[in-house]
């Protein structure tokens, strides 16, 4: 690699760290663990980073390495770099190694994301079992995984790639986000070489396993969808595997032609649901265990972060990291973190929530709990739909947000598809009147509020 390339990598890495800073709320956390990262070595398309200590290495590896890799590669279009993080103490003595026979079979796969460190529960069991079948004769092609933000669909894609590569080391595997795929296609479409787009198609049709993340972003990109659909068809016809992810199921992918939706349904369709509170607590405990520390959360403190999380596992993991950063930075003598300490740690975050919602937590949590209690869809509850079974739980959600959480009528109206404040008042009055006569309803409301 020449001096110009090295300079480009140094500048791009510095810009990448600056981008990471924008998504981290705690500046002390950033300065301790991210800003201290340095490039140790570059070997072909592999970049080794040095962290200040083992704890910092674990934080970066589990939460930020894939993001660093993603941002960095977006700004270096001609190569796809793979990032690793270690510490100075773990660097082995230099040995002469011949790389003449090394075959790079995977592209874009994060080696840190495996099935081993993916937490499984009832909420994601089907998706995990379908994913693990990639190396067996039971795999049904293609696999479509649907999940909201923060529930692990990207982790699962990388785990599939790693498992497949372990079983078939010389087969070609490619992970790419739909966003990056779009950029590559646009670049080819505007290339002066008229064969550029055909070359891209040929490249993608050579992969034995193609993993494509977040295809919902192709909503208004008709040409990109058409090209991707052609690649997909050719790969499946030729016995090559394709796995997609999206934040919504195929039938609700607006703008996608029916023939494409039908293709998505031709294989296995697996949904990752939001985990319940009990599962979130188990996940939180498992994440804490992985940090290799003696520090634990009191039951009240654990309930506090879980109840204000709304099922986002990625966010939960970030909150745990913030807690342990605080604990390690302040050298706490008591290994048990109590509720009061946790509230102090998240005070800046709570202020942001209050500014946005008038509450110190996301009010969608209330709606989710009410929807769960009545067996209805939370999004339908917020919609303008007047279906009979939605009216009562919707009114209860509005009542709790106003009377128990002190949320303004205007904010409640915004949550429920822009409803007028007079509609909100009528709904709340309706529940208030019934509560005076119906002890069962009162019990239900108290039960939901307690869970929040």
CATH number reported for the structural domain that contains residue 282 in this entry: 1.10.8.60
**271 φ, ψ (degrees, to nearest 5):** -110, 135
Residue 214 Rama label (left phi>0; alpha psi -120 to 50; beta) = left
Residues 293 and 319 in one domain: yes
Cα–Cα dist 125/199, whole Å: 38
Last residue of a domain, one of 85, 101, 117: 101
Same domain, 57 and 25: yes
Whether 226 maps to a domain, the answer reads: yes
Tokens of 390: 């939605």
The DSSP line for 100-158 is: TT----EES--TT--STTS---TTTHHHHHHHHGGGSTT--SSEEEEE-TTSSHHHHHH
My answer on whether 157 and 232 are in the same domain is: yes
**What is the CB neighbour count within 10 angstroms for residue 300?**
11
pTM: 0.60
In a domain, 108, yes or no: no
Q: What is the mean pLDDT of the segment spanning 201-207?
A: 89
Instruction: Give, to the nearest 10 degrees, the angle between helix 153-167 and helix 125-132.
Output: 20
Domain-embedded: residue 77: yes
More confident residue, 332 or 206: 206
pLDDT band at residue 143 using 50, 70 and 90 as cut-offs: very high
| CATH number for the domain harbouring residue 178 | 3.40.50.300
d(CA 314, CA 431): 36
The answer to whether residue 109 sits within a structural domain is no
pLDDT above 60 (res 103): no
* N-term to C-term CA, the chain: 55
Residue that is last in its domain, among 297, 326, 355: 355
Same structural domain, 339 and 385: no
Average pLDDT, the chain: 82
3 state DSSP class of 40 = strand
Is residue 223 located within the same domain as residue 284? no
> Is 97 a residue whose pLDDT tops 50?
no
Q: Chain-centre distance of CA 336, in angstroms?
A: 29
* Over residues 250-269, mean pLDDT: 79
Same-domain pairing of 152 and 252: yes
Beta bridge mates, 241 = 209
Question: Distances from the Cα of 19 to the Cαs of 45, 150, 318, in angstroms?
Answer: 21, 19, 17
**Sign for the pseudo-dihedral over CA of 159, 160, 162, 167:** positive
Residue 176's pLDDT is 92
Query: CATH no. for residue 418?
Result: 1.10.1750.10
- Among the candidates 336, 355, 374, a domain finishes at 355
320/226 same-domain check: no
Same domain, 130 and 248: yes
CATH number at residue 60: 3.30.300.180
* Cβ atoms of 374 and 392 closer than 8 Å: yes
13 token code pair: 């890495």
Same domain, 327 and 349: yes
Percent of the chain with pLDDT over 70: 89
Both 318 and 386 in a single domain? no
Q: Work out the pLDDT band at 132, boundaries 50, 70, 90.
A: very high
- The confidence score (pLDDT) of residue 99 equals 37
For the chain, how many structural domains are there in total? 4
Let me know if residue 378 belongs to a domain.
yes
Q: Check residues 408 and 332 and name the one with the higher pLDDT.
A: 408
pLDDT average, residue stretch 201-210: 90
Cα–Cα dist 76/350, whole Å: 37
Same domain, 198 and 291: no
Return the percentage of the chain with pLDDT > 90, whole number.
Answer: 17
**Residue that has been written with the tokens 């109840």 in this structure:** 307
Res. 102: pLDDT tops 60: no
Element (H, E) at 166: helix 153-167
Asked whether residue 286 is assigned to any structural domain, the reply reads yes
Report the range of poorest mean pLDDT among 40-49, 389-398, 443-452: 443-452
Instruction: List pLDDT tens digits, range 69-82.
Output: 888 888 776 677 88
Task: Please check whether residue 199 lies inside any domain of the structure.
Answer: yes
What is the reported pLDDT for 168?
87
pLDDT at 98 over 60: no
In terms of domains, do 182 and 52 share one? no
Which of 54-58, 89-93, 224-228 is the least confident region? 89-93
User: How does residue 348 score in pLDDT terms, banded at 50, 70 and 90?
Assistant: low
Per-residue CA distances from 261 to 170, 194, 249, 264 (Å): 32, 30, 9, 5
In a domain, 418, yes or no: yes
In this prediction, residue 93 has a pLDDT band, given cuts at 50, 70 and 90, of very low
Q: Show the tokens assigned to 427.
A: 């709904």
What is the separation of C-alpha 188 from the centre of its chain, rounded to a whole number of angstroms?
29
Which structural domain range is residue 398 located in? 364-451
Q: How confident is the model at residue 352 (pLDDT cuts 50, 70, 90)?
A: low
CB atoms within 10 A of CB 382: 19
How far is residue 232 CA from its own chain's centroid? 24
């Amino acid at each position: 690699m020449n001096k110009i390339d090295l300079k480009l990598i140094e500048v791009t890495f510095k810009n990448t760290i600056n981008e990471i800073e924008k998504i981290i709320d705690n500046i002390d956390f950033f300065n301790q663990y991210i800003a201290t990262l340095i490039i140790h070595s570059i070997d072909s398309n592999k970049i080794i980073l040095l962290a200040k200590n083992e704890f910092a290495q674990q934080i970066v590896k589990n939460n930020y390495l894939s993001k660093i890799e993603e941002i960095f590669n977006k700004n270096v279009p001609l190569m796809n770099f793979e990032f690793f993080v270690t510490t100075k103490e773990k660097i082995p003595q230099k040995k002469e190694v011949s790389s003449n026979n090394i075959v790079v079979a995977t592209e874009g796969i994060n080696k840190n994301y495996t099935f081993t460190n993916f937490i499984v529960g009832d909420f994601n069991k089907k998706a995990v079992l379908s994913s693990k079948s990639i190396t067996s004769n039971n795999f049904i092609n293609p696999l479509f995984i649907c999940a909201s933000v923060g529930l692990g669909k990207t982790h699962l894609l990388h785990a599939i790639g790693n498992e497949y590569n372990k079983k078939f080391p010389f087969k070609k595997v490619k992970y790419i986000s739909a966003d990056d795929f779009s950029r590559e296609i646009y670049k080819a479409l505007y290339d002066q070489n008229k064969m550029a787009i055909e070359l891209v198609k040929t490249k993608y049709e050579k992969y034995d396993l193609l993993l494509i993340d977040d295809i919902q972003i192709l909503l208004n990109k008709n040409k990109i969808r058409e090209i991707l659909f052609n690649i997909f068809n050719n790969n499946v016809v030729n016995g090559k595997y394709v796995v997609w992810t999206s934040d919504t199921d195929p039938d609700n992918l607006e703008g996608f032609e029916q023939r494409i939706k039908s293709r998505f349904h031709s294989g296995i369709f697996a949904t990752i649901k939001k985990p319940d509170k009990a599962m979130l607590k188990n996940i939180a405990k498992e994440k804490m265990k992985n940090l290799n520390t003696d520090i634990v959360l009191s039951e009240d403190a654990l309930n506090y972060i879980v109840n204000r999380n709304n099922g986002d596992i990625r966010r939960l993991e970030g909150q745990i990291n913030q807690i342990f950063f605080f604990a390690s930075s302040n050298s706490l003598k008591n290994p048990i973190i109590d509720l009061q300490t946790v509230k102090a740690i998240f005070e800046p975050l709570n202020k942001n929530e209050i500014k946005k919602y008038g509450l110190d937590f996301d009010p969608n949590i209330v709606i989710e709990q009410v929807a769960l209690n009545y067996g209805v869809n939370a999004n339908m509850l917020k919609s303008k739909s007047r279906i009979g079974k939605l009216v009562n739980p919707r009114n209860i959600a509005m009542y709790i947000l106003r009377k128990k959480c002190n949320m303004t009528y205007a904010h409640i109206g915004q949550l429920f598809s822009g409803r007028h404040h007079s509609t909100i008042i009528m709904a709340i009055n309706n529940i208030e009147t019934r509560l005076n006569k119906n002890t069962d309803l009162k019990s239900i409301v108290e039960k939901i509020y307690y869970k929040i």
